[in-house]
């Protein structure tokens, strides 16, 4: 039984996943696992997609590479997708959402190509990642949070930190029984 939870922070690029994950890792001692970095550094890909400017992820290899670590617990997984991770690994799925005008400005500032920018805006508007999370995990562990402003991000961090504290208390109590 794990003594630390595993959390996925997911959402469309530009919603604040990495900012949330880095702050949570710093505040809680959990480890930030940026899947894009894992894909690149551990070569869990089938090459580079020039059209969208990203790695073509080999999901099976990715899962094989991180399985032993994640099963131990204590990870905040940062990625734009969540359904690839087995339910048994995950204790909380946080889907960050932003207003499409805020998202447009954030992605434009990152110099996203127009097709990539539009695909991500469409994904956010159509709630694609939220629906994927709801389809892949039990309803009670999927939480949708707004991430338009710095204040909302701070509130999200506090809420997730509180959840982590409660998870640890509840699981310590279960272990003692």
Q: How does pLDDT run across 154-170, given as a tens digit for each residue?
A: 999 999 999 999 999 99
Task: Provide the annotated binding site.
Answer: 14, 16-19, 110
Domain assignment of residue 37, given as a range: 7-150
Q: Count CB neighbours of 69 within 10 A.
A: 14
Question: What are the tokens at 13?
Answer: 């690029």
Report yes or no on 177 lying in a domain.
no
Question: What are the tokens at 134?
Answer: 């709801």
The enclosing domain of 91 has a CATH number of 3.40.50.300
The terminus-to-terminus CA distance of the chain in angstroms comes to 13
Report yes or no on 118 lying in a domain.
yes
Report yes or no on 53 lying in a domain.
yes
Q: How does pLDDT run across 65-115, given as a tens digit for each residue?
A: 999 999 999 999 999 999 999 999 999 999 999 999 999 999 999 999 898
Q: How much is the pTM?
A: 0.95
Report yes or no on 162 lying in a domain.
no
At residue 177 the predicted structure's pLDDT band, cuts being 50, 70 and 90, is low
Q: Where are the alpha helices (DSSP H) in the chain?
A: 17-28, 35-41, 59-72, 100-109, 114-125, 128-136, 150-176
Q: How does pLDDT run across 103-144, given as a tens digit for each residue?
A: 999 999 999 989 889 999 999 999 999 999 999 999 999 999
Give the mean model confidence (pLDDT) for residues 15-23: 98
Q: Is the pLDDT higher at 175 or at 117?
A: 117
Report yes or no on 163 lying in a domain.
no
- Structurally, how many domains does the chain consist of? 1
Task: Provide the annotated binding site for ATP.
Answer: 14, 16-19, 110
């Amino acid at each position: 039984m794990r003594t630390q939870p595993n959390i996925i922070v997911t959402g469309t690029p530009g919603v604040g996943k990495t900012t949330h994950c880095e702050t949570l890792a710093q505040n809680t001692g959990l480890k930030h696992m940026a899947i894009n970095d894992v894909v690149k550094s551990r070569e869990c890909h089938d090459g580079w997609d020039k059209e969208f400017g990203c790695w073509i992820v080999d999901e099976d290899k990715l899962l094989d590479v991180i399985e032993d670590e994640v099963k131990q617990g204590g990870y905040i997984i940062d990625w734009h997708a969540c359904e690839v991770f087995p339910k048994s690994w995950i204790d909380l799925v946080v889907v960050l959402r932003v207003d499409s005008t805020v998202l447009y400005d954030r992605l434009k500032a990152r110099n996203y190509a127009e097709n990539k920018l539009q695909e991500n805006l469409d994904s956010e508007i159509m709630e694609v990642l939220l629906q994927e999370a709801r389809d892949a995990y039990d309803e009670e562990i999927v939480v949708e949070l707004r991430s338009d402003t710095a204040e909302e991000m701070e509130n999200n961090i506090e809420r997730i930190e509180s959840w982590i504290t409660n998870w640890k208390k509840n699981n310590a109590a279960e272990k003692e029984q």
